[in-house]
Amino acid sequence: MELNSIIEGYLKEIITDPQYFVVEIVISGNDRKKIVVLLDGDNGVDIDYCASVSRQLGHRMEEDEVLTNAYILEVSSPGLDHPLMNTRQYIKNIGRDVKVETSEKTIKGELLKVENDYIIVNQLVKEKGKNKTVEEETNIPFSDIQKTKVLVSFK
């Protein structure tokens, strides 16, 4: 069984509170593996929860002798600089400013709504032929999105 699948299985058993979810599992390195697990929650995730998951995951991996060599295990939240990876992350960021990159353009604005197949972003657009900006709601299909980041506001 692939290491990623084994870790996913353990995490499904460890993370029992439905507000928390796995964003991404990144495994790198050959002889000495580095395993990074990114967790999030509908109301965020704190360091104590990450530490608890890390201890439980490390214990399970040691107990089942998943890896024979030494490894590094990191469990953390994705942070603001990490792109949004799944629908739940988009939903929890409704009302925040985002930067959405598609293959054709970059759209900055407030994330208004998340549907099954697309998001709606309210952006300021300069009116053609006028020196005036207006608000415009833009539907962006998930299939067109290459990367979405939450913009940090210091207001």
Same domain, 11 and 32: yes
Domain count, the chain: 2
10 Å Cβ neighbour count for 69?
Answer: 9
Instruction: Reply yes or no on whether the pLDDT at 64 is more than 90.
Output: yes
Does 35 map to a domain?
yes
What local confidence, expressed as pLDDT, does residue 62 receive?
95
Query: Strand ranges (DSSP E) for the chain?
Result: 20-28, 33-41, 71-76, 97-102, 106-114, 118-126, 133-141, 145-150
Same domain, 18 and 52: yes
Last residue of a domain, one of 76, 102, 135: 76
In 3D space, the residue among 26, 127, 3 whose CA is nearest the CA of residue 85 turns out to be 26
* Integer angstrom CA distances of residue 74 from 35, 80, 117, 124, 145: 6, 17, 32, 39, 28
* Integer angstrom CA distances of residue 84 from 54, 68, 115, 134: 22, 33, 15, 27
Same domain, 72 and 91: no
Q: Read off the pTM.
A: 0.83
What local confidence, expressed as pLDDT, does residue 155 receive?
67
Same domain, 53 and 24: yes
In 3D space, the residue among 62, 13, 2, 11 whose CA is nearest the CA of residue 39 turns out to be 11
What range defines the domain where residue 58 resides?
Answer: 3-76
Encode pLDDT of 16-48 as tens digits.
999 999 999 999 998 899 999 999 999 999 999
Instruction: Reply yes or no on whether the pLDDT at 95 is more than 80.
Output: yes
What local confidence, expressed as pLDDT, does residue 50 receive?
97
| 131 vs 41, more confident | 41
Could you tell me if 41 and 20 are in contact, meaning their C-beta atoms sit under 8 angstroms apart? yes
Same domain, 96 and 53: no
Does 134 map to a domain?
yes
Same domain, 58 and 107: no
As a whole number of angstroms, the distance between CA 34 and CA 152 comes to 29
Q: What is the CATH number of the domain that holds 28?
A: 3.30.300.70
Does 22 map to a domain?
yes
Residue type at position 85 = M
